[in-house]
Each structure stands twice: as C-alpha cells, then as structure tokens.
Amino acid sequence: MDGANGTKRKDLRVIGKPHRKVDAASKVTGQTKYADDLVFPRMLYTKILRSTVPHGLILKIDTSKAESYPGVKVVLLGKDLPIPYGALPVSEDEHPLAIGKVRMMGDPVAAVAAVDEDVATEALDLIDVKYELLPAISSIQAALDTPEPRIHEYGEYGNIHRRQVYEFGDVEVGFAEADFIREDITFYEGSTHLALEQHASVAQFGHDGKLTLWTCTQDPHYLHRSLAKVLELPQSHVRVIATTNGGGFGGKCDPFAHEIIVSKLAMMTGRPVKICLTREEVFYCHRGRHPVLMSTKTGFKKDGTITAMHHRTLLDGGAYGGHGVASTFYTGVLQPTTYKIKRYKFEAVRVFTNKAPCGPKRGHGTPQPRFAQEIQMDKIAEQLALDPAEMRKKHLVPSNSLTVNWLRIGTMGLGKCIDKVVEGSNWKERFRKLPYGKGIGLACSGYMTGAGTPIYWNSMPHSGVQLKLDRSGGVTVFCGSTEIGQGSDSILAYIVAEVLGIDPFDIRVVTADTDLTPVDLGSYSSRVTLMTGNAAIQAAERAKEMLVQAVSTKLEVPADRLCFADRRVFDMENPEKGVTFVEAVWLAETKFGTIGTVGSYKPPAAPGKFKGSGVGPSPAYSYSAAVAEVEVNPETGIVAVPRIWMAHDIGQCINPVLAIGQIEGSIYMGLGEALMEEMTYRGNRKVVHKFPSFLEYKSPTTMEMCDVITYLIEGQDSNGPFGAKEAGQGPQLPVPPAIANAIYDAVGVRIDEVPITPDKVLRAIRAKAKGQEGRYGPTVFPHCDMPASIFVPTPEEGGDGKAVERQPVLA
C-alpha cells in the first residue's frame, strides 16, 4: 500500500487551506518584539571579552582597571560560574566563561556589566589577559595526528571526542553478493546558520528570588534546565521566555554562555541585564554544519540493488561537544531510509579542533551523508548505464516497513516525488542530452518528522498543550513551542480551530514561556507540527467533548449528531437547530465549571533495542526529490542554477502557503551550501575564522536564488496530526547532490565536495582536458582505530532489534 497516495481529505475546513499566520500582521508592521527590542528601567548592558588565541592557558587576568572604570558594575570571570553545562548530558564540557584555558578564538573569557554598551565595551579594553599558547588543531587530520595536548580531558582518547560503529547484518556477506563494489570519498564543508537576528538576551532577577530570562532560543525547555543547574537555582525559580526568533535554523538550540552570563549578572546586580552579540560573536557561537569527510563503499548488483553499504564519516566538531554526539549519529543513521540496503555498516568519528563548535543546522548531520550517497547513486547509475531516476525508483524502501537499521517507516512517497520532478523537468528528453555546459541532475532524500527520544532520558510527553475556554467564547492555547518563523504558533491555532469549528483568528496563542506553558521540547528535528499538533488535537477534542455533552442536553440532540463549524454547534440533520460557539461554552461552563483541558504527545516506542537505537527513530519520515538545472561556464568554472524542481512528500498539508515557504527556504539554504557557504579558517597555527561577517561569508542574494517549482505530494500519515509530516528540513537535503550531479551532466566532471566553487570546477575541467580524472574532491580517508561494532541482525534476517555477539558468517 502506498500511504502517500495523493488523496485529499475533503472534510477539512481550516486544515489544508491557505491562511495568514497568526503573527503575520505584527511581523509586517514591526510590532513583533524580538529579544533585543526589550528595554527595562535601570537596565544594564553586557559585553564579553573573548579569547584572542585559538588554544591556550590563561596565566593571568587583571580586571582591576575595568572594575574601577566609571559606569562599570560588575566584571565576571569563569571562577564565578564553576558548574559546567552543555546541550547533551553526555558532553557537558562548557563553562560560561573560560576557567584556566581557552579552546578557540572567541571563547568567552570575561564579562562586564555597565550602565551602557559603550562603557561596557570600553571596559573590555582595560582587562589584561596573559595566555600561554598551546599548539592549535585546525583540521580533522591534525586532530587524529595530535593526541597531545588534548583540547578536552574527556572523550575517547587524544582529541577524539566520539567513535561509533554499528553493523546491521554482515556487510562482508553483502559485498560478496555484489556484482560491483565502489568506494567514493567525499567532503562536505561546514557552514553556519546566519540567522538575521544577532543573539540577544535580557535577564531580570526579582527580590522573590526568581529569575526571568527573555532570549532568542529555539529550545527554552532545555535552556531552563541548564540555567537552573549552572546558577544553582531551583528549576521552579527560573523562567525562560523564548522571544520570537529572528531565524534559527538550529543555531539557537544550545544553551549559550551569554544567556547564563546575563542571568548571573542580573542575580548579582538586582537589575535587568541585557546583551546583544555582534555579528562576529554570532559566528563564534556557531553550532552549525559539521565539516564531514566521508567514505561510502557500496556493493550493488547489475540492476542497482544495494547488497551492502559501509559508510564512514569523520566530523570536525570544533571546540565543544554541544549536540555533537547526536550529529555524529545523524551522519549515518538516516542513510537506509530511502533505498533498500541489505546490510549496512556505519562508522563515525567526531574530533575536537580549536574552532567554533559545530552542532545542529537544518538537516542536522544528514545533508553531508545524503550528499555522499546521492552523488554515488548517480555514479552507480552511470556505471550500470541505467537512468538514475528509474534505478532509484526500483529500489525504494516500501511504506510500512522496517529499514535495515530498525527504523519504522510509515508512509513513503518518494516514488511519487521522483515521478513529479522527472515529469516536470522533462527529464527523459534532457538528461545527458543537453549541450555542453548545460545539465540537469537528480537527487532524493528522506528526513525525520521529530526525534523519537528527548535529549535527556525521561518518559514524559514531548509536547503538552493546555486549552482554556472562557465564557466570552475566547479560546486560548498554551504550549511551550517556540516560533522561529516556521509558523508553529499558527499551526496551533489552525488545528484547534479545525476541531472546535471556529476561526483560527478567534484564538489566542501563548507559547514558549516555561512559567505559563506546558513543556514542548523545542523547535528542532522538524518535530513541532507533528508533536504539538497531536497534543493540540487531544486537548481540543477533550474540550469539544465537554461542549458536546452540554449542548446535547440543552438541544436534546444525540451527541453524535452535533457538528462544529462556522462558530456554531448544530444538529447536522437539522442545521438550523443549534447554538453559537459562545453559547456552547456558556452551557459547558454551567454544566462542568471552568473549562480547561490538556493534551500530550509522546512518540511511539522505537523497534530498535540496541545501545544508540534512540537516534534515528521518528513518528514519520518525509521524502523529497529534486531536479536541478545548471549552467556551467567552462572558461570560468562559474555555476549558475536557473531552476530547481522539488517534490515533497508532506503527508497532509496544514497550510500549503507555509509548507511551500519552508520548501523554498530549504532549497535556498541548500543552494547556498552547494555553491558558496563555508565556515573556513586561516592558518594552521592561529586558526582565525576567515570571514566572520555577513559580507564575506557568502550567501545567496536575490540575484543567485533560482526559480523554484514545487510539488506537494499529499496523503495522510497515521502518526501525524491530520496526517501531516514535516517540510522544514527534508527538502534542503537533495539540493547539493542534485546540483553536483547536474554539473556532471553539464561538463562531465565530478565535484565531490561542497561548496562547489568556480576554482574547483575549473580544476576538474582542466584535469579532464589533460586526460586526468575529471574530478575535484578528497582522495584519502584517514585511518582511525575503531572499537568493535555493535552488531545487530537485520529485520530481514529475523533479528529482534537487539544487538548480538558477532557470529562471523564468512570464515
């Protein structure tokens, strides 16, 4: 059965229709308050002194001149905040201000609170710091080669943060079954989120001993926990209010030093304290795309059947752990979600370097391996003389199945997606048939709709919603979810309006306030629509049930005949007979007392039972297929992308305008990573960011953005609210490989790394002209000793999802 079957539900009034966002009017009029827009009486301002060396011991800090500078209230140092923190419990390796040692250029060393920003800035110049330089590590290779000095005192050994080895079935058996084996080495450069809003926070500490932090975080709940821990406050005394984020893309998920610093300063001074980072500082916060070197060895048969894949990744983690352990898993765990892979081995290593820490950026750890896999699929098709679209379609993971690594796939609409972009782009008439310099390329992807497990171990809901109905007929939705531009506030209003038969704009939405709203884990992993949506449906259905009982008694109409629509509750067999929604709330409040309901959502248990099986499972997987059209100038190596066709298997669209907006934004970000965005550093010893500025960190402007043709492939996934799946990350993933594949179609060279800059294209073209391999990309995958793999028999082999002692099949 094909779940994403293109059927449309006809019974919906709000869902699936275009609506404005609930915050649209305030955003287009400048009324929305972002963190830096908040001002309080007696507010102090903070600036942070940051390390000027990439790796060093702090020998001395003299703050005396700064402390006596007029207008300075407090100078804060690392020793004032000794408790470490970090996004993941397994790598709490950060301090708000360095203690004894700095690990990157830009590491926070001291903070000043002063009466205004100018005074704070001037005071920073008066702080004298003496460093003893340590050798700096600037690359994956250097981290592998340099065990001492260690950047951190924890991790596997030397400067290796994390190693993971999983084997699902014996890959050697799979390779023995293959007609062909190929190994491709690829590299995906790091990039940053570049959200327009610079990080900003304001903290206030009351005489009641309670702290409030307004901040542009995507994950107020996790920040709440970190703040309480580091500041040694009871969690119930900490309130985090996530202000509307001026863009996130994963860059505002970690708890940040500056958030803790202003909180501590507010506690020390008793005054509100604000910070707004400069753009340069935002580059140092980073937490963006990991640079990943990959080796993908794949065994396949003449028809493209994949008998085995051995996928290895090496991640440049930067100076801290952050979400890095999760990122490391994600460089491999979702590979088997698109095409059937009979046996799969995945090895990953994350190293520490003296650079800004990497973490979750749109697609979190998966764009890199998807790039590796999808350009290899193109090469396999070429080698087998098969059409790459047809070959992919033949080997799709079926709906309602288990992947080789125990991920449960629900609806799977990739086949339909491929059909749409193939048809729309006129693929069959153009692929390998365009004149030299012009080309088209195809790539596909799958992505999660929400992570199956939370960041810290617990069995509570991932999303909670409270609903209040009052006798004005007013409905208020309370939910901890965070609006980062994706429309999460609006989704709540649309869903509650659908269930209660009212207009979305009748509803008030209160979100992202740890005091007022029930927990939602945060705006990451494309989880919000699915999880808050399901919780909202449950809360609204419970409220509806109370209204049904009250109205049924009043009208003497059986409960199952009552219909909620057009702000009325009425007898569906006699629509004239009914009450207004406001009257229905009166009746319910009269019958039951004050009306409030709750809803919760927790993802289903994952089928995998081995250690590490918590990363990868999701309630639903979305699928995307893209065709990119390119024009390559063989004289300059410049690549232009005039057009991209994208089909996305979204389940049920909650609001098509917003879904298309997410898809267009994903294509844009993929285009930037494919062609120009790179987070790179100068020099081996100094390790200075090359261009921590908006101007020189190249991102696509209106002039580089391509035309986009989007197809929404709709259906209903049983785990999604009204059948919805994600749209905010998945469609980014096929863009870089589709462009790389199109470049091969255009000029016959393989660019096996991103960004695909003109110099790389030109070098490959020139090499080819000289009779050498027409390719640019890494050729060596460095060795790293790996532990024994966690060996898990595949579902096809009759495994039960648990790891077993390895039984070598091949003697």
Partner 1 sequence: MKPTKKRNNGKPAKAQICLRVNGEPVEVAFAPHKTLLEVLREDLALTGTKHGCELGECGCCAVLVDGRPVLSCLALGVALEGHEVTTVEGMAEGAKLHPLQEAFADLGAAQCGYCTPGFLLTAKVLLAKIPEPSREQIKDALAGNICRCTGYIKIFEAVEMAAARMAGKPAEPSKESIYGRR
State yes or no: residue 197 binds partner 1 (CB under 8 A). Answer: yes
Alpha-helix runs per DSSP H in 703-772:
735-747, 758-769
Q: Reduced to 3 states, what is the DSSP secondary structure of residue 742? A: helix
State yes or no: residue 41 binds partner 1 (CB under 8 A). Answer: no
Q: By rule CB under 8 A, what string of x and - marks binding of each residue 756-775 to partner 1?
A: --------------------
Of 597 and 666, the one with the shorter C-beta distance to partner 1 is 666
Residue 385, classified by CB atoms within 10 Å of its CB into exposed (0-12), middle (13-18) or buried (19+), is exposed
Binding partner 1 by CB under 8 A: which of 29, 459, 472, 779?
A: 29
Q: How far apart are CA 332 and CA 349, in angstroms?
A: 11
State yes or no: residue 218 binds partner 1 (CB under 8 A). Answer: no
* Window 240-259: residues binding partner 1 (CB under 8 A): 244-249
Q: Reduced to 3 states, what is the DSSP secondary structure of residue 743? A: helix
Single-letter residue type at 483: E
- What value does the CA radius of gyration of the chain take, rounded to a whole number of Å? 27
Q: What H or E segment, with its residue span, contains residue 260?
A: helix 257-269
State yes or no: residue 658 binds partner 1 (CB under 8 A). Answer: yes
Interface segment toward partner 1; rule CB under 8 A; list 294-302, 467-475, 667-675, 753-761: 667-675
State yes or no: residue 34 binds partner 1 (CB under 8 A). Answer: yes
State yes or no: residue 751 binds partner 1 (CB under 8 A). Answer: no
State yes or no: residue 384 binds partner 1 (CB under 8 A). Answer: no
Of 603 and 651, the one with the shorter C-beta distance to partner 1 is 651
State yes or no: residue 689 binds partner 1 (CB under 8 A). Answer: no
Q: How far apart are CA 662 and CA 726, in angstroms?
A: 9
* Window 332-361: residues binding partner 1 (CB under 8 A): none
In Å, the largest CA–CA distance within the chain is: 88
Of 70 and 593, the one with the shorter C-beta distance to partner 1 is 70
Q: How far apart are CA 564 and CA 367, in angstroms?
A: 43
State both tokens at 338: 């698109």
Residue 811, classified by CB atoms within 10 Å of its CB into exposed (0-12), middle (13-18) or buried (19+), is exposed
Give the pairing type, strands 211-215 and 200-205: antiparallel
Of 551 and 724, the one with the shorter C-beta distance to partner 1 is 724
- Cβ of residue 621: shortest distance to partner 1, in angstroms? 20
Of 25 and 460, the one with the shorter C-beta distance to partner 1 is 25
* Window 68-87: residues binding partner 1 (CB under 8 A): 70-71
Could you identify the residue written with the tokens 């003497």? 556
Of 337 and 488, the one with the shorter C-beta distance to partner 1 is 488
Binding partner 1 by CB under 8 A: which of 694, 778, 786, 789?
A: 694
Of 12 and 582, the one with the shorter C-beta distance to partner 1 is 12
Q: How far apart are CA 57 and CA 740, in angstroms?
A: 43
Give the pairing type, strands 568-571 and 574-580: antiparallel
Binding partner 1 by CB under 8 A: which of 5, 32, 549, 680?
A: 32
Nearest to 714 by CA among 645, 643, 644, 660: 660
Of 277 and 743, the one with the shorter C-beta distance to partner 1 is 277
State yes or no: residue 710 binds partner 1 (CB under 8 A). Answer: yes
User: Cα separations (Å) of 486 from 218, 527, 528?
Assistant: 11, 12, 9
Give every CB contact of residue 555 below 8 A, 6+ residues apart in sequence: 562, 571, 577, 578, 579
Residue 789, classified by CB atoms within 10 Å of its CB into exposed (0-12), middle (13-18) or buried (19+), is middle
State yes or no: residue 698 binds partner 1 (CB under 8 A). Answer: no
State both tokens at 137: 């590590």
- Cβ of residue 666: shortest distance to partner 1, in angstroms? 8
* Window 276-315: residues binding partner 1 (CB under 8 A): 278-279
Nearest to 627 by CA among 602, 614, 606, 646: 646
Of 599 and 731, the one with the shorter C-beta distance to partner 1 is 731
State yes or no: residue 642 binds partner 1 (CB under 8 A). Answer: no
Give the pairing type, strands 681-682 and 688-689: antiparallel
Q: How far apart are CA 396 and CA 611, in angstroms?
A: 27
* Window 461-500: residues binding partner 1 (CB under 8 A): 484-487
- Cβ of residue 200: shortest distance to partner 1, in angstroms? 10
Interface segment toward partner 1; rule CB under 8 A; list 58-66, 153-161, 226-234, 697-705: 697-705
* Window 495-554: residues binding partner 1 (CB under 8 A): none
* Window 90-109: residues binding partner 1 (CB under 8 A): none
Binding partner 1 by CB under 8 A: which of 59, 83, 196, 559?
A: 196
Nearest to 658 by CA among 20, 8, 140: 20
Of 29 and 779, the one with the shorter C-beta distance to partner 1 is 29
Of 540 and 727, the one with the shorter C-beta distance to partner 1 is 727
State yes or no: residue 640 binds partner 1 (CB under 8 A). Answer: no
Cis omega before residue 755 (within 30°)? yes
Cis omega before residue 398 (within 30°)? no
- Cβ of residue 748: shortest distance to partner 1, in angstroms? 29
Q: By rule CB under 8 A, what string of x and - marks binding of each residue 107-146 to partner 1?
A: -----------x----------------------------
592 with 550: CB under 8 angstroms?
yes
Binding partner 1 by CB under 8 A: which of 2, 5, 37, 471?
A: 37
> How many chain residues are in contact with partner 1, going by CB under 8 A?
66
* DSSP codes joined into one string, 221-249: HHHHHHHHHHHT--GGGEEEEEPPPS--T
**Interface contacts to partner 1, rule CB under 8 A:** 18, 20-21, 23-34, 36-37, 39, 70-71, 118, 193-198, 244-249, 278-279, 424, 484-487, 656-658, 660-661, 663-669, 671, 693-695, 699, 701-703, 705, 708-712
